[in-house]
A and B are shown apart, each in its own frame.
Chain A
Amino acid sequence: MEQRTDADIQDQSPQPTKWDRSAIVRLKARFERQNWAGVLFLLACAVAFPMLPGVEGWQAYTVALVIIYIIAAQGISVLVGFTGLVSVGHGGFLAIGAYTSALLTKYFETDIIIGLISGGLMAGFIGFLLGLIFLRLSGAFMAIGTLGFAFFVGTVVNNVPLFEGREGISLPSNKVMFWEIGDIGFYYVSLTVLALVTLFSYCMVRSSVGRAFMALRDSEKAAEASGVNRVLYRTIAFSISAFITGMAGVLNGHIVNYISSEVYGDIWYSVDILVAVVVGGSAVLMGPIIGGIFVVMLPFMLEELADFAFILKGVVLILVLIFAPAGIAEVLGRPIRNMRARLLRQAGYGGREPAPAETTSVAAAPSQTEKP
């Protein structure tokens, strides 16, 4: 009955010498440390900025606006970059965050911290529901669905009396635990949120959760075969993404102490946030940062031509899609990556380049039918 002879199995080719990965692992750890050093340097610059001589409140205000956009873009990049789902409706989450905190502040005189938590949670909860509703959608249908969501939010804030439509809601000056804060204080609040969100994104992407997101993005079948619960992880991705963008919305309302449907009833925010991650790059940490700076600073730099900003954004978007589809951050990071690749190769890393098309093909295997 035993068909396979034990001799067959024992007579194995001699055990090849074990591949030594330690040099590569060490190098990769070093690169990681360099990344952290870079991030900490940027953070130190950002902390020092308002203290520089000659920096005034309005400048801190402008940079805080950039920071808010970066946070919003980080929210959407969780979805676009790591789960491969496109959202054209993240302005909706921005609005939900902004209105939640504004109403709490107006009626209960809460401070920004409570606003941030409740605005984020509210947006996260709506994101969770949306994730469930859009479970079966992907690609263009997902884009249309999320766009519909942004329109829906716009209609609600325009028409439901609680949100006071175009009249808008004026907010008292900003407080953190009963302390009033000015432009510079607000700058530091925004920077703190940005730092926390960045740290969280970093950890999440490098955990089993980030791996599951990317697995669903790359092959839903293989992900499910590996035990990744598609429903669970898609809703987690939506919730986290909405939570982060919702917090950006809270800050966006409080920074001008005023919100109205004129601003949040439109889909421009949705478009701007998406443009930020597409231009900056969605699957790298620096992407939302560069994209956020681009989207906010462009109108400023054009000064009296600011009305043309939206045309120029469109032009840049198209150029990026053609010449740097992975985003500007990817292009800027290329010299560093090339240098690191060289170091890795020197350490003996196999460094496989893409093989010729026929051998890498993931398409159907040629079934060799042998007759018994």
Chain B
Amino acid sequence: MASHLKCEEITVRFGGVVACDGVSLDVEEGKIVGLIGPNGAGKTTLFNVLSRFQEADAGEVYLRGQPVNKNSTSQMVNLGMARTFQNINLFAEQTTLDNILIGAHHLCAPPLQSMLWMPQARAVERELTDRAVEIAEMLNLESELDNLAKNLPYGLQKRVELARALAAKPEIILLDEPVAGCNEEETEELQNIIARLNRELGITVLLVEHDMSMVMSICDYLYVINFGANLAQGEPADIQTNRDVITAYLGEEV
């Protein structure tokens, strides 16, 4: 299978801190790939590099074989990449429906047609609204569509983030701790949803998650990083028994 998202030797320094120290990974098309590692390992930083929120000091990112270092942050969604954030970033003062619709921003008519309410722009708008409602239904958010995002409980806010990312019709989606702070039931529900996205819509998933039981059951392949560098990679069963990985996680506990 073809490589969907690949990075080579990514290095990011924040002053003296080396958040990423030559990390490489390769996400195969149509797979669910997990990125795990202890707190502060550099997972979020790597996500930011992959989604063009952070400029790397060294290294290259390729999306379907094309380098993306010239693309701006907001262009990534046009290339079929959407993401969510570890710390929820929602449009707090807007309804769930509007939050999802913004996710579909790049599918809207051009600004001038949009603001003058030209007929085509209104037609696109209606179509996108219908789709937003469908996405909400898929994520069991339909009863929240008219509520303000800031009034939703934490677990639902995480789900609105996911819905917003899905509204962009992504081919690959980067999820930074999608179930952090969710209870067991919510976790299971989200896990099923992610699996369905992958299976039914063919969306490639790159996932950062600390919930190991979820990672092990949902991922096709895992990358483990520690102190900003690759530590191990392989299928979940192999990672579970990998000595280096166990040491890294136990070491963190001391």
Contacts and interface: CB of A to CB of B under 8 A. Distances in A.
A366 B125 contact: no
Best-buried of A21, A207, A354, A360 by chain B (most CB within 10 Å): A207
B73 interface: yes
B151 A219 contact: no
Interface string A329-372: 00000000000000010000111111100011111111111111
B231 interface: no
A43 interface: no
A229 B142 CA distance: 29
Interface in B84-98: 85-94, 98
B153 A236 contact: no
B102 A212 contact: yes
A360 B151 contact: yes
A208 B91 contact: no
A73 interface: no
Interface residues of B, number: 88
Nearest to B216: A3
Contacts of A139: none
Interface in A1-41: 1-5, 8-9, 12-13, 16, 18-19, 21, 24, 28
B239 A365 contact: no
A372 B239 contact: yes
Contacts of B181: 365-366, 368
B86 A364 contact: yes
| Consensus secondary structure, chain B interface | helix
Given A3-B235, A227-B105, A351-B147, A372 B111 contact: no
A344 B108 CA distance: 29
A214 interface: yes
Interface string A252-278: 000000000000000000000000000
B3 interface: no
| Consensus secondary structure, chain A interface | loop
A352 B73 contact: no
Given A3-B217, A227-B77, A362 B90 contact: yes
Given A222-B164, A362-B88, 20 more contacts: A1-B235, A18-B137, A208-B105, A209-B111, A209-B115, A211-B105, A214-B91, A219-B89, A222-B85, A224-B53, A225-B73, A226-B102, A226-B106, A227-B76, A229-B74, A230-B74, A350-B146, A352-B152, A364-B87, A368-B181
- Shortest beta-carbon contacts, A-B, top 10: A227-B77, A208-B108, A227-B106, A365-B180, A19-B142, A222-B89, A218-B91, A204-B115, A352-B151, A19-B143
29 contacts: A1-B235, A3-B220, A3-B235, A4-B195, A4-B217, A8-B217, A13-B189, A18-B137, A19-B142, A200-B116, A207-B114, A208-B111, A211-B105, A225-B83, A225-B85, A225-B165, A226-B103, A227-B105, A228-B74, A229-B72, A229-B74, A352-B151, A354-B150, A355-B153, A359-B153, A362-B88, A369-B39, A369-B210, A372-B245
Interface of A: 1-5, 8-9, 12-13, 16, 18-19, 21, 24, 28, 200, 203-204, 207-212, 214-215, 218-219, 221-230, 232-233, 236, 344, 349-355, 359-372
